[in-house]
Structure 1
Amino acid sequence: MSDELTSDLRELAAEGERPPTLTGAEIRGRAVRRRRRRRTALAAAGASVAGALALVVALSLGGGTDRELPPAASPTVTASPPATPDATVDLGRRVLSVAGRQLPITAGTVKTPTPTGRMTVLAKKAVDVLTARDVGFSDKYDVKAPWVIQLGASDGSENFIATMTYDEKALGNYDRTGGWIGLRQADAKWLYEQLSPGAVIDIEASGAADRTPSPTPTGVDGRGVATAGSTGMDGGAATAGTGTGPGTSGG
């Protein structure tokens, strides 16, 4: 039984045996090609991994793909020219020019000069009290003055324009104040209505060397103290007592 089975198996194997479809060389070539494809795939996979790592590093260092661009250079800002003044005061000629008109003025004396430069209208009062220091009296005499325009400079200093009530002859001729600018009553009222808070006034000292010295006007003694004949806009004499200065008395 054993011999017969062995013989049958051999016959069956011989019948089922088929010659190989590929030669040995073709089989080896196919194996080589398969190895090359595997290497290529591995190389591609490695490149992909390297690229992914590089991207991760770039993101971590750069803070993201949307990197902030440097700010654009600011355009060069050209300083705007100073505003044209609404009025100009020429201390040398003793003239205030505004809206095509020239108004005669009197200003500060040599001892109490009027500050120059650009000033701005801060406020206005129909009537205010000028102290002895403002007026230029050596004693404590106050004077009521109508149509007062308060001025302020960029450094914080202040001055004012008002009606000259105690020496109208000084207007356009000589200087008679403690540093403020005096006008005729009609001119002061017109200017008061012409200028509003925020208006710009340039005060210049051109020709100041040729200014006429301030004489001692009638009604003021040798010390510069108002006498009984010195009158104010209310028709009375200069009022005695310590004043509070411009801006302290309502109009």
Structure 2
Amino acid sequence: MVFDFHNRKYFRHVRNIASRQPVRRILVTSVRVPKRERRLHEVFRRLRNTKHKVDFVTAQMRDKGKFGNINTALATVKLQDYDWVVITDDDVALPPRFLDGFISLCEVMGLKISQPAHRYHSYTSFTFNYRKWNSLGRITRYVEDGPVTAFHRDAMAYVYPFPELRWAWATDIAFCNAARRNHHNVGIVDYTAIEHLKPAGQDYPMQAAKAEARAFLSRQALRPDRRELFRNMEILRDIHPDRLTYDVPCPMGQPATWPAAQP
């Protein structure tokens, strides 16, 4: 509640940049889990409450991992028609007009892969993903592959098709590494924090997931360092009409201006 009250000071600025942002074409995709369709419909209802043009595509859960099913769903659409692809689970609670603020802040910070932060009653795998005090958003080294992850069209060019791991662990390390190779920002939007309603790993064997992840990282020649991975590169503290205020120097020592990046 204190965080929500504090964030009111940002409301006018975020509303202003959202109103100035062009309408984007956003594709929302998810996996339909038997007996949980009602939850997914509620998430989609929330996501429809936006100025952006949003389409939805889903895949029925099959005997494959999350991203295997997502690949099946995305194969049915023309991805080049969309500015953003948002992958969501069905067990999330979203703030009002979530996409308006979330996408605006992603574009202001020049993020190509992003996630909303977690509220403090939310189930998350890492405390790094909880929202930070006095922060609109952060440019980071790491973005988790759920429960809500957004990919700009520039990132979809190199992350799709997604690796079809059975348990999906370490997929996020691979796509964040690909973004870094392409000199793209990834990050977390603190202002639009969501709540994950159940803990991860309840429905599958965690030891098998860890073993699969280790083998995948080995094949990709990736050796992530936890201290390097969970690091905030820049924290967006304030938005002014002509500039952004970060508490970490911008690359090359140059001040950021609004908009920070061309979408």
* TM-score interval for Structure 1 and Structure 2 normalised by the shorter chain: under 0.3
TM score, norm. by length of structure 1: 0.27
Look at both structures and tell me which one has the larger radius of gyration over its CA atoms.
Answer: 1
TM-score (norm: length of structure 2):
0.26
Higher helix share: 2
